[in-house]
Chain A
Amino acid sequence: MSSVELDLPAQGRGDAVLEISGLCVDYGFSEDAVHAVVDATLTLRRGEVLGLAGESGSGKSTLAYALTRLLRTPGVITEGEVVFHGKDGDYDLLAADLDVMRRLRWSQIAVVFQSAMNALNPVLTVGSQLTDVLKAHRPGMDRRARKARAGELLNLVGITADRLGSYPHELSGGMRQRVMIAMALALEPDVLIMDEPTTALDVVTQREILEELVGLRDRLGFAVLFITHDLSLLIELADTIAVMYAGRVVEYAEAASLFRAPRHPYTAGLLNSFPSLHGERKAMIGIPGSPPDLRHVPSGCPFHVRCPHAMDICEQEEPKLIELASSGRRAAACWLQTEGHTAPEALALPEPTVLGARIASRTGAVAAELENPEIEAAGSAL
Chain B
Amino acid sequence: MRILKSPKIAIGLGLFLFFTLIAIIGPSIAPYDPIKLVATPWLHPSAQHWLGTTQQGQDVYSQLLVGTRSTLVISLFSGALATVLSVLIGVSAGFFGGLADNFLSMLANIFLVLPALPFLIVINSYLPSGGKSSSWLLAAIISITGWAWGARVLRAQTLSMRSRDFVDAARITGERSWRIIAFEIVPNLVPIIASSFVFTVLYAMGTYVALSFVGALDPNQPWSWGSMLFWAQSNTAAQVGAWYWFAAPGICVALLGTSLVLLNFGIDEFINPRLRAAGLSRKGLKAAGISSKHTPGLTPVVRRQSPSSAAVVIEETV
Contact = CB atoms under 8 A, between A and B. Distances in A.
Interface of A: 24, 28-30, 65-66, 69-79, 81, 83, 90, 92, 94-95, 97-98, 101
A74 B284 contact: yes
B288 A74 contact: no
A101 B296 CA distance: 12
Interface in B245-292: 277-278, 280-281, 284-285, 287-288
Contact of B318 (A77, A78, A92): A92
Contact of A70 (B299, B305, B313): B299
A245 to B, nearest CB: 22
B317 interface: yes
Given A74-B284, A92-B317, A69 B278 contact: no
Given A29-B287, A81-B313, A92-B314, A73 B297 contact: no
A29 B281 contact: yes
A98 B284 contact: no
B278 A78 contact: no
The 4 closest A-B CB pairs, nearest first, are A29-B284, A73-B281, A71-B299, A69-B299
B82 to A, nearest CB: 38
B79 to A, nearest CB: 35
Nearest to A24: B304
25 contacts: A29-B284, A29-B302, A30-B287, A65-B299, A69-B298, A70-B297, A73-B277, A73-B285, A74-B277, A74-B280, A74-B281, A76-B299, A76-B302, A77-B301, A79-B305, A81-B313, A81-B317, A90-B318, A92-B317, A92-B318, A95-B314, A95-B318, A98-B298, A101-B297, A101-B298
B299 to A, nearest CB: 4
B15 to A, nearest CB: 29
A24 B310 CA distance: 14
B311 to A, nearest CB: 9
Chain B interface size, as a band, is: 20 to 34
Which of B278, B288, B299 counts the most A-chain CB atoms under 10 A from its CB? B299
B284 to A, nearest CB: 4
A76 B295 contact: no
Contacts, number: 66
Given A30-B287, A73-B278, A76-B288, A83 B299 contact: no
A81 B316 CA distance: 11
Interface of B: 277-278, 280-281, 284-285, 287-288, 294-295, 297-305, 313-314, 317-318
B287 A79 contact: no
Contacts of B314: 92, 95
A98 B297 contact: yes
Contacts of A81: 313, 317
A272 to B, nearest CB: 36
A71 B302 CA distance: 14
A109 to B, nearest CB: 14
Nearest to A71: B299
Residue from B295, B303, B317 with most neighbouring chain A CB atoms (10 Å):
B317
Contacts of B300: 73, 76-77
A43 to B, nearest CB: 14
B304 A30 contact: no
B2 to A, nearest CB: 13
A81 B299 CA distance: 14
A30 B317 contact: no
Interface centre among B294, B301, B302 (most CB of A within 10 A): B301
B294 to A, nearest CB: 8
Contact of A97 (B280, B298, B303, B304): B298
Contacts of B305: 79
A60 B318 CA distance: 27
A101 B318 CA distance: 15
Contacts of B287: 29-30
Contacts of A77: 299-302
Contacts of B284: 28-30, 74
A57 B173 CA distance: 33
Given A73-B299, A77-B302, A95-B318, 7 more contacts: A77-B299, A81-B317, A92-B318, A98-B295, A98-B297, A98-B298, A101-B298
